[in-house]
Amino acid sequence: MKLSRCLTILAALLPITLAAPTASGRRQDGATNDSSSRVLGDALSVEQLAVSFYDSSLALLSADDFRAAGYADGVRQGYEQVLESAKAHSDYLVGEITNLGHADAAVGCDYTFPVKTTEDFVNMSEKLQALAVSTYAGGRDRSQSDTYTTAFGKMLDDETRYASWISTAVKHEDSADTSFKSPLSSRQGFPDTVNGIVVYSQNECGTTTVTGFLGGLNN
Ligand SMILES: *[C@@H]1O[C@H](CO)[C@@H](O)[C@H](O)[C@H]1NC(C)=O
Ligand SMILES: *[C@@H]1O[C@H](CO)[C@@H](O)[C@H](O)[C@H]1NC(C)=O
């Protein structure tokens, strides 16, 4: 599996960029600014991972591949919507991080994923959505800004809807619902799904750090 440095690098950038002066934006006290930047940065790491994952996988897997693997025609289109949503979330987060004066921390990364078949993709998407749900639930709880608490709550609803869609409509893990329409409660179930998922990331010095997500696919 290719090691990816990005999640750790984003975290490492924040303390450095905190020292950079800037002239614009709503003023926040230093502690709130710092905390907001971290929470936004964590969410952005996951969204950048998601954009990269959905974009590269959908480029690889055609409508015929989905059909041949036995998925309904709407499934690939559903994933295109999930990709658009990840891009929109990512843009929002980049904008806010930039407004807080930390544009350097919003730089994206290159990822590669071990997706070979449609089923690999679907299974990984399920794990990625579980990670997104837990990230936004954590972000909403940690946020010290009302604006971001509300924004995280909305994005959490999106991620929960997609996670639910994947497990029901795509994977038929239960028969409840086949549309994006009825979100699970965000407190229902997901933290457990995240257990055992591992992200391999590597910092610039070449030290490998396990930060949580992906894994399990190759072993
Ligand atoms: C956040 O902190 C950075 C670095 O101290 C500062 O440049 C920026 O203006 C602050 N942003 C807000 C919105 O207060
Ligand atoms: C995908 O996940 C299902 C369980 O949800 C499992 O039975 C199946 O073997 C997995 N397929 C791949 C290719 O990992």
Check pLDDT > 70 for residue 137: yes
Nearest CA to ligand 1 atom 4: 18
Q: What is the pLDDT of residue 174?
A: 58
Q: What is the mean pLDDT of the chain?
A: 73
Question: Backbone phi, then psi, for 208, in 5-degree steps?
Answer: -90, 130
Q: Are 148 and 39 in contact (CB under 8 A)?
A: yes
- 66-80, 114-128, 143-157: which range is least confident on average? 114-128
What are the tens digits of pLDDT across the range 162-203?
999 999 999 987 544 444 544 443 333 333 333 333 344 433
Q: What is the pLDDT of residue 43?
A: 92
Q: Which atom of ligand 1 is found nearest the CA of 29?
A: 14
Identity (one letter) of the amino acid at 148?
Answer: Y
Q: At 91, which helix (H) or strand (E)?
A: helix 73-99
Q: Which atom of ligand 1 is found nearest the CA of 21?
A: 7
Q: What is the pLDDT of residue 182?
A: 40
Q: Are 12 and 98 in contact (CB under 8 A)?
A: no
Cα separation, 127 vs 201, whole angstroms? 17
CB atoms within 10 A of CB 88: 14
CB atoms within 10 A of CB 57: 19
Q: What is the dihedral of CA 205, 3, 91, 27, to 10 degrees?
A: -30
